[in-house]
Amino acid sequence: MRLALLSPAALRPSLGALAGFVIVTLLTFVGLMAITFFIGRVIPIDPVLAVVGDRATQEQYDAARVAMGLDRPLLMQFVAYVGDVFQGDLGHSVSTNRPVAEDLARVFPATLEMATLGIVIGVGLGVPLGVWAAAKQGTWVDQVIRVFALLGYSVPAFWLGLVGLVVFYAGLGWVAGPGRVDIFYEGLVEPTTGLMMIDAALVGDWEVFWNALDHLILPAAILGFFSLAYIARMTRSFMLDQLGQEYITTARVKGVSEWRVIWAHGFRPIRVPLITVIGLSYAALLEGSVMIETVFSWPGIGNYLTVALLNADMNAVLGATLVIGLVFILINKLSDVLYRMLDPRSR
């Protein structure tokens, strides 16, 4: 029986699915590269001027344009760009005078750290609130949760960040201010993973750990509030659909406890669509934290992208956009895998 399971015929479907997954991912990524590349070429920003400056002579300008390969046809430029990207070469940043790939490897962990804590807060509060609102449909509890979720859609991120700093940092002193750690702690921990709290814990420097957490709480909580609003709203919608099914009425008629009806019978079927919602929310936090990173002076990919745009640093802009797009692709594919694991009917 084991030999039959390991035979080529038995492995063929799994290998075919894996090959299809890789091909679709690569094609999606190439499509993303095409979109970002051609948009980067049509926007009214001259990457040559960003390098040579507006006081350069025409000869210097032309020489830089040839050196950057911008004198070649657009299609040839794109083919060369794709080849460089697949070799890990995203170009050189004008802003930092370093390879873009090195810059992104340095700044992305900061965004990952903040977004991860944000999604933990969003899921940890949003899912129970959504379930509670559905269970109490039409009551004051439902109305309060819906208004709270609506605020998450309506309030601008930069305004909420500024208010949070004024109230909780400047006013009450409950949290630390902008930045990733206090100036005194900068450089005390050697970056291993790039995640400040994990790096501090690995070397046992708990002062840096708690200081980093103190700085992280407020921006992550604000990001978590925005994801909470979406997750709570979608959870409520999914739960209302399930609680209206006949099998829920049957369970209640049989005398099953309300807690078991809600969580064991009602919540179980919505786990699959919730995975997609949570995955998209996480990806949105990773790419949509530009305003929060700017307000809190957080050295992440959003702040890096903002500085690159202001300096017309197109290599950095395209590189950061590709990384964000790749995160979306990978999270969507991971959601599909989890979807299939939880729902055998979709295999």
92: in domain: no
| CATH classification of the domain holding 290 | 1.10.3720.10
Same domain, 210 and 318: yes
SS (H, E, C) 29-43: HHHHHHHHHHHHHHC
109 touches 194 (CB < 8 A): yes
Burial of 45 per CB tally in 10 Å (0-12, 13-18, 19+): middle
Q: Which domain holds residue 107?
A: 100-346
- Give me the pLDDT at residue 120, please: 92
Question: Domain for residue 95, yes or no?
Answer: no
Residue 153 lies in a domain: yes
Write down which residue in 30, 59, 86 finishes a domain: 86
Residues 305 and 156 in one domain: yes
Q: Is 132 helix (H, G, I), strand (E, B) or coil?
A: helix
Query: How far is Cα 237 from Cα 245, in angstroms, rounded to an integer?
Result: 13
Cα-based distances in Å from 111 to 3, 31, 135, 296, 310? 47, 25, 35, 12, 20
Structural domain ending residue among the three candidates 86, 114, 132 = 86
Please tell me whether residues 69 and 153 are part of one structural domain.
no
Structural domain total, the chain: 2
pLDDT at residue number 159: 85
Residues 144 and 69 placed together within one structural domain of the fold? no
Please check whether residues 82 and 110 belong to one and the same domain: no
SS3 string, 62-123, reads: HHHHHHCCCCCCHHHHHHHHHHHHHCCCCCECCCCCCEHHHHHHHHHHHHHHHHHHHHHHHH
pLDDT of residue 1: 41
User: Per the domain annotation, does 93 fall within a domain?
Assistant: no
Last residue of a domain, one of 86, 121, 150: 86
What gap in Å lies between CA 225 and CA 219, rounded to an integer? 10
Considering the domain architecture, whether residues 332 and 217 belong to the same structural domain is answered as yes
Residue 169 per-residue DSSP state? I
| pLDDT computed for residue 5 by the predictor | 47
Tell me what pLDDT residue 3 has: 43
Nearest to 32 by CA among 327, 337, 342, 347: 327
- CA dihedral sign, ordered 34, 35, 37, 38: positive
Same domain, 160 and 273: yes
How does pLDDT run along the chain (347 residues), one tens digit per residue? 444 444 555 555 556 666 776 787 788 878 878 887 777 777 766 677 766 666 777 777 778 777 777 777 778 888 888 888 888 888 888 778 788 888 888 888 888 889 889 999 989 998 999 888 888 888 888 888 888 888 877 888 888 888 888 888 888 888 888 888 888 877 788 888 888 888 888 888 888 889 889 989 999 999 888 888 889 988 988 888 888 777 777 877 877 777 888 887 778 888 888 888 888 888 888 776 778 888 888 888 888 888 888 877 788 888 888 888 888 878 877 777 776 776 665 55
